[in-house]
Amino acid sequence: MNEISLNNILNKIDANSNVLVVYGSELVPDELDQLISKIPSRSVSKLDVKNSSQIDVSSPTYDLIISLNGDFNYEIYFKILKPNGKILLTDRENLQSVLTLNGFQNFVKEDSFCVAQKPNFDVGATRKLNFKSSQKVWQFDPDDIQENDLINTDDLLDDLDLKKPQVVDKFDCGTSASGKKKACKNCSCGLAEELESEATGVQKKNQETVKSACGSCYLGDAFRCASCPYLGMPAFKPGEKVQLAGGLAKSDL
């Protein structure tokens, strides 16, 4: 650390203040010793020197935090700083934006360091608002409103706003030439689901109302009666239309 940088840091330290110096493993020990040896000359009330991994979140304690290792404990720094307390860090890209998002203000860049300040209130602080003193601001006399001050809402609309939009039908759902309902390939109006539901209902109704004499014809010869017309035919699904010899069709299952 050169002499100019060291003096800039020392000038930020006020008398009777509580100071925390944070260091990291990558910091050269000689630079740390150099800074610590000069701080007592500023007549501080308290000086703590800690590794960044040893910082505990506690009540606001410090007036100034000097972070020489460029760590990212901004949220912790904000909590342990007193109102109006300052933080001094090694400059880096987008540092001002990051500090602003963490609640700091009054960002100043000096030499190779940046200084930011905590607002004059602590986290969770509340303040009662006095609305009585501001009530008169919202009072006015009806005569104060001039006709020229009012806006005709019709003037806010142009011809394009008043034009009725044209609805373009991108689908061909409707009826076929025979008058039967049909759905297009990419139907999204619900007609496809409606037709499918109707077809399922008809098939289910047919299965419930039409039964064979024994009710077991579809299972195969082992379950058929001696006079069953399906003797010798393979098993089939219930309700399936079966073609018999001679061109006759049965669909009673």
Count of CA atoms in the C-beta half-sphere (13 A) of 242: 22
Q: How far apart are CA 189 and CA 20, in angstroms?
A: 69
**Residue 173 assigned as binding residue:** yes
**Residue 217 assigned as binding residue:** yes
**Residue 189 assigned as binding residue:** yes
- Asked if 78 and 55 count as a contact pair (C-beta separation under 8 A), the reply is no
**Residue 228 assigned as binding residue:** yes
**Residue 114 assigned as binding residue:** no
- Asked if 229 and 250 count as a contact pair (C-beta separation under 8 A), the reply is yes
**Residue 214 assigned as binding residue:** yes
- Asked if 80 and 60 count as a contact pair (C-beta separation under 8 A), the reply is yes
- DSSP assignment of 17-35, as one string? -EEEEEE-TTS-HHHHHHH
Longest dimension (CA), the chain: 119
Q: How far apart are CA 60 and CA 123, in angstroms?
A: 10
Which residue's structure tokens are 């307390």?
A: 85
- Asked if 93 and 65 count as a contact pair (C-beta separation under 8 A), the reply is no
190 vs 144, 194, 196, CA distance in Å?
58, 6, 10
In the annotated binding site for [4Fe-4S] cluster, the residues are 214, 217, 225, 228
In the annotated binding site, the residues are 173, 184, 187, 189, 214, 217, 225, 228
In the annotated binding site for [2Fe-2S] cluster, the residues are 173, 184, 187, 189
